[in-house]
Chains A and B, each alone.
Chain A
């Protein structure tokens, strides 16, 4: 940390004024497995493709959707190990908030902190940017559901619905056609699964995707059985 040999930023401006390392990091994200999120009137759903290359992997214990606070969860597209670092940092900072203020950190503040960390890694000496974009779903202090995307640059956006990773363009078009402002959570979950299936390589089932839901201000990760119920309803 702060090694004198690398006390200069590795992310520097090109002649045309671009920060190329950040653009390349976004390419790393675009190579990652698809994730998407939908913000409904009464909740949020985030979902990701968990397809792994080998049957030998114990896929039930691989987690790509993680809980950050009791009311907020996150999924990603991009470089897995980088995601773990951000989850760890976000959890620590939300615990510090809880200890100081006695209440669960609202999602917008959590997003700001996490985005700040990601921005730091584009400016600090000797490190590269994070190769992940995050989709964070949670509730504000007043209970309003929100969906945020945080990029490697540290920029964050609030979305009604969005997709990241491979095939995100088609997924976003699909979502745009189906999104309505007064959408309810159950519809949103169904739409999310349909969108994920659109671009899925091979057969999508309850084992090779992961879905997180914010319902009544509580975040939970759907079990394979619950996902199977939704998939059965869709058929």
Chain B
């Protein structure tokens, strides 16, 4: 069966060049959909993504790509919505089990690594396909401070100063790379506003408060919370004022 020339396109086995086609196709699926941006600052992290409600009759609060995984860890998952929700469910379970087994909250770096290891299994075992979603995990660690991790379908996970995912990932990363030295000292407001500006820059549009979602954690005692429309509006106004000034 594995002698069929295109079987390496159907399941996770190596192609003659040593590539895994299923993984590459999965990336294409995972990078479609919405763009997300996450930034870490001096003492806080934030994650920002678009909010597109496809139908006016839909309940807007049910359409979200930001998920609280524990009190102190949040994530933005982009790609296939069904696969994203499956990954979030698993992440919540893993975090809960870890806290129960070990007696303290699961650090974001450990959770990211665990989710990445689970993603790797799907790239090696033929029985399941990889999940078509990319997660930006954010948290403020007790010992290491603000952290951002990107976990992708192949099981790669890396710590970032700032990261992006989705169709405009490359443009967003270019925007963020130029500001990487400054971002390390940003306070929470600056972190959020830079992330929003980055998203606006790569999507080529200005936003209203209803068109983006922002999640943030401030300080080592902070909890993951998603900003309300009013809070987002005040950030957008501040950005507009800075731009006019």
Give the B-binding residues of A (Cβ under 8 A).
Answer: 1, 3, 5-6, 8, 10-12, 14, 20-21, 23-31, 52, 54-58, 61-62, 79-82, 84-85, 88, 121, 126-131
User: How many pairs of A and B residues are in contact by the CB < 8 Å rule?
Assistant: 110
* B119 proximal to A (CB < 8 A): yes
Contacting pair B16 A27 (CB below 8 A): yes
Evaluate contact between A10 and B180: CB separation under 8 angstroms: no
Nearest neighbor of B179 in chain A, beta-carbon distance: A56
Q: Is there contact, CB below 8 Å, between A24 and B2?
A: no
A221, chain B: closest CB distance, angstroms: 17
Tell me if A81 and B13 are in contact (CB < 8 A): no
Residue of B nearest to A13 (CB): B3
From B2, B127, B155, B176, A12 is in contact (CB under 8 Å) with: B2
The one of A6, A12, A14, A28 in contact with B14, judged by C-beta atoms closer than 8 angstroms, is A28
**7 interchain residue pairs of minimum CB distance:** A27-B18, A81-B155, A28-B18, A24-B14, A81-B120, A3-B127, A58-B159
Nearest CB in chain A: distance from B39 CB, A? 9
Contact indicator B18/A24 (Cβ below 8 Å): yes
> A30 CA to B154 CA in the complex, in Å?
19
Q: How large is the interface on B (under 10, 10 to 19, 20 to 34, 35 or more residues)?
A: 35 or more
Q: How far is the CA of A131 from the CA of B11 in the complex (A)?
A: 15
- How many Å from the CB of B193 to the closest CB on chain A? 18
Residue in A10, A30, A81 whose CB lies within 8 Å of B117: A81
User: Which B126-172 residues sit within 8 Å CB-CB of chain A?
Assistant: 126-127, 154-156, 158-163
Q: B97 — which chain A residues lie within 8 A by C-beta?
A: none
Q: Are A58 and B117 in contact (CB under 8 A)?
A: no
CB distance from B105 to the nearest CB of A (A): 20
Q: Find out whether the CB atom of B163 lies under 8 angstroms from the CB atom of A56.
A: yes
Contact of A57 among B12, B154, B158 (CB under 8 A): B158
Q: For the complex, give the distance between the alpha carbons of A14 and B113 in Å.
A: 37
B residues apposed to A, CB below 8 Å: 1-3, 11-20, 109, 113, 116-117, 119-120, 123-127, 154-156, 158-163, 173, 176-177, 180
Residues of B within 8 A of A131 (CB): 14, 18, 20
Q: Can you show 29 pairs from A to B with CB atoms below 8 A apart?
A: A1-B125, A3-B127, A6-B126, A6-B127, A10-B2, A12-B1, A12-B3, A21-B13, A24-B14, A27-B16, A27-B17, A31-B17, A56-B161, A56-B162, A56-B176, A56-B177, A57-B158, A58-B160, A61-B109, A62-B158, A81-B116, A81-B123, A84-B117, A127-B126, A128-B13, A128-B20, A128-B124, A128-B126, A129-B14
Residue of A nearest to B170 (CB): A54
